[in-house]
Amino acid sequence: MTTTRILIPALMVALLFFTPLLAQDATERDELTLERIFDSPALSGPSLRQAKLSPAGDRVTFLRGAKDDSSRLDLWEYNLELERTRRLIAAQDVLAEPAELSDAEKARRERARIADLSGIVEYRWAKNGRHLLFPLGGDIFLADLEGEPIKVRQLTAGKAFDLDPKISPDGRRVAFVRDQDLWVVDIEQGEVKALTEDGEGTLKNGMAEFIAQEEMDRSTGYWWSPDGDSIAFLQVDESPIDPSERYEVSGDRIEIIEQRYPFAGTANVRYRLGVVEIESGDIRWVPLGEEDDIYIPRVEWLPDASGLTFQRQARDQQTLELVLHEFEDDRQRVLVREQSETWINLHDDLHFLDGMPAFVWSSERSGYRHLYLIGLDGKVIRPLTAGEWPVSALAGVDENLGLVYFTAGMETPAEQQLFRQSLVTQTPEAVHRISRREGWHEITFDNDARTYLDTFSSTDQPPQLSLHSADGERLAWLVENRVDEDHPYAPFRPDHRPTEFGTLEADDGQPLHYRMIKPAGFDESNQYPVFVHVYGGPTSRMVVDRWGRRHLVDQYMARSGYIVFSIDNRGIAGQGVEFQAPAHLNLGRVEVEDQLAGVDYLKSLPYVDPERIGVFGWSYGGYMTLMMLMQAPETFAAGVAVAPVTDWALYDTHYTERYLGMPTDDEGEPTEAYARADVLEYAENLADPLLLVHGMADDNVLFTHSTLLMQKLQTEAIDFELMTYPGEKHAIAGEGQRLHVYRQIDRFVERHLTD
């Protein structure tokens, strides 16, 4: 059974923006090329990152790419009173020549998937609403917005590369990490001092370890107390992890990098959680429990600074505890214990209330992620949401009005909308939708949850930034990004292809959501080749009504004559526990079954040429491409795998063990789950053309994954094509290199699907 939904309302909204372009003469239309997609100015319009409301509520700040270089970010503002958008700080004015990044900063940016960005890549507001803090070139700068021109003051300088700066809540100090230690600078006096002094070698203070950055969505290792008197920090000891060597192959050299990479089944870091008092420098250590082989994914203070909470996750990730440590009597108690027969998904949905001893927390205990109000005694006061749909994220809490705001894809997982609920609700299934347009809404509330920023996009509308009151009324366009005659996408808009969304059924009856873009000049009486764009991994979805450069590549392929198709298989987040659970101990099997169900659906369509279906994926998508080709030989005309995992024993502990458990049993023998998930076990079945692509300095999915596959295929005398990128990491983020990747994909697919 299949159903199809074409986004008519979203398209109608888009047409309102694009009407001037529809009358454009055909001779003025430009052909969309890969070169133009990866060139500046960006076809999506201005890049919008880290939009924030000022504490004073008088302006909105955000990062925006320079017109001549969309990857170099400057700091911009929209002044609410003057109704004016302007650039506040240009990175080049502060630092004319880009500084060489430290190894730690390069790693941080690679983990955050911003390795291709430069300029001001992060910033923070002071609570007084007057100052802005930002790092640049390894030093820390403070901007004073009172008066004109804006004054920018340098707080730190020297050979050391200062990381992760944060302003104290009282606005007196700035903390940062330098040379693996936690430091602080007094803003008024300029005095700089170290709060820890033992950071060296394998011991790091206040820094997020590799696993935290890559897999836990935690990029920091320290947290200011609400009163600004203390800092909680994690001390990470990497010594239990055996050093390993990997090669980074550049164009002119080969570097041997010694790295303490936590391969699946091996040791992890060990933690200590400390609280340092700023004035005295005294450190008290918070007990983390008897078991030391754990993860600490989150740390958060109580609003009155009387206690500290931390989340303690078991090594097998089937138990997660929220632990409260109260300082007055050094007493600890578990506030929440989550348990699962598969795994626990981490989240950031924790909000302590000021007016009562309670907090808002999200849990999947009902089978879907929902919000709960829980007392500090650990007892659930009431569920706040309920239903056969999951909450995406807690967005804000207004205690004065007793309201909680959250995002969810209630009607369809392809969308993300903003909703509201009462903190005293007796009907958790009855929630109120606030956002109005179909598509994807990223929401950022102010501290009081009275106004919010909405970064909206859809497959027909590039990202827009607007300011709204809590009831959804738009107060101002901050970046309307209207695709008018001056917009970079204007010459390509007349041939923009609409995206269709629909569902089909998996073997067990589960609905599988898909998206499809039909080619230019589509005629049902013809048969077309298909470009299947796959990811398939548990942490990311392809079937979303959202704009992005990946979407532009799919637009290019559709305009080149392909039907572009993606399906979200079981195992993927965002559709409930029952939808994810089949992937447990079964990676590389259940996902392939669902992807092949999508292929069967394609073959049932009269306008699909069943002999010309190709597949492409990156990272987990590369792994899926290989497994689809090898488990279903002669189903596909060709496949492209970029940076694929091939042997899960070579991937990291937190990600891999979450889904596959330990790689060996008690006797040291490989487990069945890892054997079933190993690409190399199926390599001899490869019968279809394959293009294998990998960065030769990849520190996430190591280049070893591809060299093992190369050797296996060569041993079996199986032909394949190869493209490697010297010096490039997992994202292959070099400006020319990223374009080069997609050129190779385009030519390879054209050769096998259209010739």
Element spanning 157, H or E? none
25 carries an active-site annotation? no
C-beta contacts of 105-114 below 8 A and 24+ residues apart: 105/138, 105/161, 105/163, 107/210, 107/213, 107/699, 108/163, 108/164, 108/208, 108/213, 108/219, 110/699, 110/700, 110/729, 110/730, 110/731, 111/210, 111/213, 111/214, 111/219, 112/213, 112/219, 113/731
φ, ψ for residue 751 (rounded to 5)? -65, -35
Dump the DSSP string for 429-464: T--EE---SSSEEEEEE-TTSSEEEEEEE-SSS--E
Respond yes or no on whether the N-terminal peptide bond of residue 41 is cis (omega within 30° of 0).
Answer: yes
Single out the catalytic residue among 619, 647, 678, 752. 619
What CA–CA distance (Å, rounded) separates 387 from 164?
39
Altogether, the residues listed in the chain come to a count of 755
Amino acid at 503: T
What CA–CA distance (Å, rounded) separates 753 from 608?
12
What CA–CA distance (Å, rounded) separates 17 from 483?
6
Q: Name the pairing type of β-strands 192-194 and 181-186.
A: antiparallel
Q: Where are the beta strands (DSSP E) in 480-558?
A: 499-505, 511-517, 528-534
What CA–CA distance (Å, rounded) separates 652 from 657?
8
- SS3 for 198-255 is CCECCEEECCCCHHHHHHCCCCCCEEECCCCCEEEEEEEECCCCCCEEEEEECCCCEE
φ, ψ for residue 17 (rounded to 5)? -75, -35
Which sign does the torsion angle of CA 407, 411, 415, 417 carry? negative
698 carries an active-site annotation? yes
What CA–CA distance (Å, rounded) separates 569 from 543?
10
468 carries an active-site annotation? no
Residue 230 to residues 67, 280, 305, 332, 634, Cα–Cα distance (Å): 42, 10, 9, 19, 63
**Residues 616 and 749: beta-carbon distance below 8 Å:** yes
Single out the catalytic residue among 74, 698, 699, 746. 698
What CA–CA distance (Å, rounded) separates 88 from 75?
6
**Tokens 């399906």 appear where?**
567
Element spanning 140, H or E? strand 139-144
**Residues 383 and 394: beta-carbon distance below 8 Å:** no
Single out the catalytic residue among 730, 740, 746, 752. 730
**Residues 592 and 628: beta-carbon distance below 8 Å:** yes
3-state secondary structure at position 747? helix
Q: Name the pairing type of β-strands 563-567 and 528-534.
A: parallel
Positions annotated as catalytic residues are: 619, 698, 730
